[in-house]
Structure 1
Amino acid sequence: MPQNAGSGAAEPSRDCPLCPRLHDFIAAWRLKEPEWHNAPVPSFLPPEGRESVRLLIVGLAPGLRGANRTGRPFTGDFAGDLLYRTLKNFGFTRGEFEARPDDSLELVGTAITNAVRCVPPENKPVGAEISTCRRFLVPTIESFPRLEAIVTLGSIAHQSTVRALGHRVAALPFVHGAVHETSGPTLFPSYHCSRYNTNTGRLTEEMFVAVFARVAEHLRR
């Protein structure tokens, strides 16, 4: 299990059977790559624990050769390179990110999770899987007593987070760079930091950094 993995009701079991398609997909990859993590990927937490978390980042789902392989969110693929570089620039990490779960990287006042904890085929979870996995996203959010900001990466993660907070998606729509005040944590939606989005120009590094600049300013206030 990766360093600082979460526990309790906020985390599915290693052999979670709730989404048969995802369960079977992981089972097939356990046969192909028995040394990989190949299980639901737990939330990545700071060493100081859940009580220290003021910022939560919610991604879509583990990448097949990224978090599904390494067992730590955004570790092992391009998206993690951009995310952790940006977090370091704003003081949300310490140590060095080396794209493996036993590197020296630690989060600072920050936690990272996914709306869907298991890797989906072609990186595309279906609606039922997103809804089912919300039973873990809700207690994850509730487990952070000092949470002030949530960055949602992509429309699916954003919509699932909005629903997990008990709000209507229409009232808090996904718009990159928006700032949505709620009765709880403030939401900062961003395009996902995937290689596809950066290669096509939908998301530039400057656009991504600007989101976290707003987050840092919000937390300073």
Structure 2
Amino acid sequence: MEPPSERAPRLGSVAALDRVLADCRACPRLVEWREEVARVKRAAFADEEYWGRPVAGFGPADARMLVVGLAPAAHGGNRTGRMFTGDRSGDVLVRALYDIGLASQPTSERRDDGLRLLGVRFTAPVHCAPPANKPTPGERDTCAAWLVRELQLMKGTLGSVVVLGAFGWQALMTAIPAAGWSVPRPRPVFGHGVRVDLAPADPATPRPLAVFGSYHVSQQNTFTGRLTPAMLREVLADAATAAGLHPRTP
């Protein structure tokens, strides 16, 4: 099978990207882990059929705002087949988007639950669930072609990106130049609430891109109060405004 770096650039739509990405087997460690999790299962989900494949982005292809996470959770996205679905991280993120009017409902439980994101799309720098929620730098680099192509295909409408965590921030800042925006030097450092405005790097990129940092919506952050719902809503609302969306005040 062709590596992502050769397949992704030829894909002409976000729908095609999502479809082809779901068959990727480029990283042996991740393939083995995601499929083992899908076989063994968690006791609470023993009667469910796990997805056990790469998890594509979720949301409209013409979204104005992109939310970049880390990777699918073993018993969340890897189980349900949808980004930020079926786990606590998804609960927190989707609730915050619902509170500001950018999701059709406050929960994200399964692929057929009717959730719609309004002007927003989810993606990640690594599309397979990694052991201990820790992809390697090599796995991030192998998966980078999918992120680059997704950004390229969305740049006609994309106005802002919210990056959840330092791993995603590093991946995005590496991918951005190939997607058509300029990254300043020294490279911007991740932090919660940080905003960086990136200028187009070529005539094919129609608008600047505002990039916002947020702590990840992991239980480690949300259970300890490092990231509160109000903190998350504030970053999401700022990014939505920068993208030309109209978030409401919860």
Q: Structure 2 length normalisation: TM-score?
A: 0.79
For 2:194 and 2:19, the matched residues in 1 are separated by 29
Q: Pick from 134, 142, 153 the counterpart of residue 164 of structure 2.
A: 153
* Structure 2 partner of 1:19: 27
| Partner AA of 1:39 in structure 2 | R
| Partner AA of 1:108 in structure 2 | L
* Structure 1 partner of 2:190: 174
* Structure 1 partner of 2:51: 37
Return the offset for 1:42. 0.8
Return the offset for 1:37. 0.5
CA distance 1:173–1:85, shift in 2 (3 Å): same
Return the offset for 1:15. 4.0
CA distance 1:22–1:98, shift in 2 (3 Å): closer
CA distance 1:213–1:45, shift in 2 (3 Å): closer
Q: Pick from 95, 114, 121 the counterpart of residue 124 of structure 2.
A: 114
1:111-163 CA-to-partner distances (Å, cap 9, x unmatched) read: 10111000000100010001111110000111112100000000011110111
Return the offset for 1:17. 2.2
For 2:164 and 2:147, the matched residues in 1 are separated by 14
For 1:216 and 1:16, the matched residues in 2 are separated by 31
Alignment gaps of 5+ in structure 1: 1-5
1:137-195 CA-to-partner distances (Å, cap 9, x unmatched) read: 00011111210000000001111011110236842210110110001311011000111
For 1:82 and 1:27, the matched residues in 2 are separated by 26
For 1:168 and 1:181, the matched residues in 2 are separated by 9
CA distance 1:123–1:168, shift in 2 (3 Å): farther
Return the offset for 1:95. 4.0
- Aligned 8 A contact 1:10 1:138 in 2: no
* Structure 2 partner of 1:3: none
Matched, 1:192 2:233: no
Return the offset for 1:8. 2.4
For 1:44 and 1:146, the matched residues in 2 are separated by 16
- Aligned 8 A contact 1:15 1:23 in 2: no
1:80-135 CA-to-partner distances (Å, cap 9, x unmatched) read: 11101111122211245351111121011111011100000010001000111111
Q: Percent identity?
A: 37
* Structure 1 partner of 2:84: 74
Of the structure 1 ranges 211-220 and 196-205, higher mean CA displacement relative to structure 2 is found in 211-220
For 2:23 and 2:185, the matched residues in 1 are separated by 31
CA distance 1:149–1:66, shift in 2 (3 Å): same
| Partner AA of 1:218 in structure 2 | A
Q: Structure 1 length normalisation: TM-score?
A: 0.88
Q: Which has the larger radius of gyration?
A: 2
Matched, 1:63 2:73: yes
| Partner AA of 1:70 in structure 2 | T
Of the structure 1 ranges 118-127 and 161-170, higher mean CA displacement relative to structure 2 is found in 161-170
Q: Tell me the SS of whatever aligns to 2:189.
A: coil
Alignment gaps of 5+ in structure 2: 1-13, 42-47, 178-182, 200-207, 246-250
1:19-57 CA-to-partner distances (Å, cap 9, x unmatched) read: 1110111232343248101100011023xxx23x10000
1:193-216 CA-to-partner distances (Å, cap 9, x unmatched) read: 111111222212221111112123
